[in-house]
Amino acid sequence: MTDVLTGDADKALKAKHRAMWALGNYPELAEDLISALGTTLVGALDIGPGQRVLDIAAGSGNAALPAAQAGAGVVASDLTPELLAAGERRAAALGLELDWQQADAEALPFANDEFDTVMSTVGIMFAPHHEASAAELVRVVRPGGRIGLINWTPEGFLGQMLATMKPYAPPPPPGATPPPRWGNEEHVRSLLGDRVTEFSAIRKTLPVTRFDSAEELRDYFKARYGPAIVTYRNIGNDPERVAALDNALVELISRFDSGSCNLEWEYLLVTARKTE
């Protein structure tokens, strides 16, 4: 099992993560591009009235809001309060009531077996220590309860975008596992192990047709996506590296473009039950 940072080192790491996801405008990106993922996950888990649901790394409510619309009692947790605040505003506009709580996916402030369903949509994958966050995910769902995850695959567009940015980004913290590993079926099976049954993993794609050019898509991420903003800030004093990363991202987008800047972003949909 990967060692998890403790004490001041862990606090500093989590502070960096909170700050990164508060940069740009991730709530806008989530609503513009990936809102369908939350609805897909809620449907796959058959969430409905009377269920108590936890959304881990919920961001601004991509899955939490449709779960509440389906009639569930929802707790939306995230490390970054700015994202939760954006979610609260969206919920108010929709007339929905959810419980928004700041929480670390690697140390959730909830009791054992507290929820009927625990889920995460391209969120828990960014917690650096996968074994710790997986253990917490399983701990807080009741025996026989449902677990649902959507995560970007390593081979898909988002996984490859993160890999493209990695040489230009600040070094990862000690013991961290790359986020897209959560999109690898065998990795997720190993994380959950015999603590779950009825494990299912399906690769699916999300169509993205909003953009007219690779450059427009690249610049959209540069302005709104925390990991991209941090990466560009890391090389901001080196124009040659900035240009190199600009070109690398355009090449990547072009590789996934099926024509007219239409892309399919691959993700892994995982569902399981906690062993009784």
Query: Is residue 189 included in any domain, yes or no?
Result: yes
CA neighbours closer than 13 Å in the CB half-sphere of residue 80: 27
What does residue 237 show for φ and ψ, rounded to 5 degrees?
Answer: -90, 5
Decide if 49 is inside a domain: yes
Instruction: Output the CA torsion 98→267→230→232 (10° steps).
Output: -140
Pairing type for strands 196-208 and 263-274 reads antiparallel
Q: Kindly state the DSSP code that residue 34 receives in the 8-state scheme.
A: S
Residue 150: which domain range? 7-154+173-206+265-274
Question: The pTM is what?
Answer: 0.95
- What average pLDDT does the chain have? 96
Q: Which helix (H) or strand (E) holds 243?
A: helix 239-256
pLDDT tens profile 104-158? 999 999 999 999 999 999 999 999 999 999 999 999 999 999 999 999 999 999 9
Name 89's Cβ contacts closer than 8 Å, sequence gap at least 6. Answer: none
For residue 21, which of 83, 65, 63 has the smallest C-alpha distance? 83
CB 253 within 8 A of CB 214: yes
Look at the chain and report how many structural domains it folds into.
Answer: 1
Domain assignment present for 33 = yes
Residue 57 pLDDT > 60, yes or no? yes
**Cα separation, 140 vs 195, whole angstroms:** 12
Both structure tokens of 202 = 């399906």
Q: 245-250 long-range CB contacts below 8 Å, 24 or more apart? A: 245/164, 245/165, 245/168, 246/218, 248/164, 249/161, 249/164, 249/165, 249/214, 249/218, 249/221, 250/214, 250/215, 250/218
Segment among 162-176, 199-213, 220-234 with least mean pLDDT: 162-176
- Determine, yes or no, domain membership for 192: yes
| DSSP secondary structure letter of residue 122 | S
- pLDDT per residue as tens digits for the range 204-213: 999 999 999 9
User: How far lies 127's CA from each of 6, 17, 174, 189, 201, in Å?
Assistant: 14, 9, 13, 17, 20
Asked if the structure places residue 25 within a domain, the reply is yes
Q: What is the pLDDT of residue 253?
A: 98
Provide mean pLDDT across the span 87-100: 98
Which whole-number Å values give the CA distances from 126 to 174, 241, 250, in the listed order? 14, 25, 24
**pLDDT in the model for residue 6:** 57
Average pLDDT rounded to a whole number, residues 176-200: 97
Q: Which residue type occupies 100?
A: W
Residue 3 has pLDDT above 80, yes or no: no
Residue 21: inside a domain: yes
pLDDT at 170: 95
Residue 252: inside a domain? no
Residue 222: pLDDT over 90: yes
Euclidean distance between CA atoms 41 and 62, whole angstroms: 10
Name the strand (E) or helix (H) holding 267.
strand 263-274
Mean pLDDT of 185-192: 98
Question: What's the CATH number where 76 sits?
Answer: 3.40.50.150
Within-domain flag for 111: yes
Q: How far apart are CA 219 and CA 107, in angstroms?
A: 35
pLDDT tens-digit readout, 5-37: 457 888 899 999 999 999 999 999 999 999 999
